[in-house]
Amino acid sequence: MVLGLASLTYGLNKINSKQLLDSLLSPAVWPWILPGFILLFIFIIMERRSIAPVVSPQLFSNRQLNIGLYLSFPGGIAEAGLVFLPLYATRSLNICTGSAGILMTATALTFLLLTEPRGIMVDHAGAKFVLFLGTFVTALGALLLTTPHNLTEFLVCVIILGVGLSALLGTSVWDLALSETNEMERPSAQSMLSLGGSFGTMIGTTLAGAFIASNSDSLPGFHEIYLMVDVVAMVGGLLSLGLKSKTKSQF
């Protein structure tokens, strides 16, 4: 799994977003991406034959968990986008790095303040509603991040994105793992969802670096990053409609 993800990451980092198809077929990209997928396929075969697999293949037959796995992916993608916010702010608004650092503080405070309300919403409204709301607000925040003209507008966009992520990450997805599995399966299910988020962060960071490197003027590259977050989150919102309605929380 490690070799497959490393190969895939290296290949994706060489993509040119301005010549996407040509770059995918270039010798700098496909010789890394193809072996990456092959190694991951071999990993899945090994897991199916293992007595004690890292992630039980049987979990992938659960439709609710599959949706949860995908929803953990845009959360990871969006978290990767947060890393580039200060740099984006300094380039687009011509402000000092100290002021740009406020953006990360605002995101952290948003997460902190909404942790308890998120759990209450999951208990009373169910994971489906919270996850749909989270993906929608995340998509909105990411889209608005391509438009700010001053630090105040930038800060508002970041807070909106933080609100969406606070509903999308953590308790909301874990509730699916707990409600759809028995005691023996739960550790494996939670590991699978955590892996989905980590994979999203890895892919998001890799593609973000490729987007910035593909543009001589870095601003279009940053816009591509948050448009990517926007699209992935909107797809997640549509998939979240396939979740069951309110289930009894396991927390």
Can you tell me the distance from the alpha carbon of 221 to that of 62, in angstroms, rounded to the nearest whole number? 37
Is residue 245 in some structural domain?
no
Q: Report pLDDT for 248.
A: 47
Q: Report pLDDT for 170.
A: 67
What residue numbers bound the domain in which 119 lies?
Answer: 59-240
At position 233, the amino acid (one-letter code) is A
For the chain, the domain total comes to 2
| Structure-block tokens of residue 90 | 């300094």
CA angle 136, 142, 143 (to 5 degrees): 90
CATH of the domain at 90: 1.20.1250.20
User: Does 74 share its domain with 110?
Assistant: yes
Q: Report pLDDT for 249.
A: 46
Q: What percent of the chain has pLDDT over 70?
A: 93
Can you tell me the distance from the alpha carbon of 133 to that of 237, in angstroms, rounded to the nearest whole number? 8
**CA proximity to 156, closest of 89, 217, 220, 98:** 89
Interval 59-116: pLDDT, tens: 777 788 888 878 887 778 888 888 888 888 888 887 777 767 777 777 778 877 887 7
Interval 199-247: pLDDT, tens: 888 888 888 877 887 776 667 888 888 898 899 889 888 888 888 776 5
Indicate whether 251 pLDDT > 70: no
pTM of the predicted structure, to 2 decimals: 0.77
Indicate whether 38 pLDDT > 90: yes
* Longest CA–CA separation in the chain, Å: 57
User: Does 123 share its domain with 38?
Assistant: no
User: Does 160 share its domain with 232?
Assistant: yes
Is residue 250 in some structural domain?
no
User: Does 29 share its domain with 135?
Assistant: no
User: Does 37 share its domain with 141?
Assistant: no
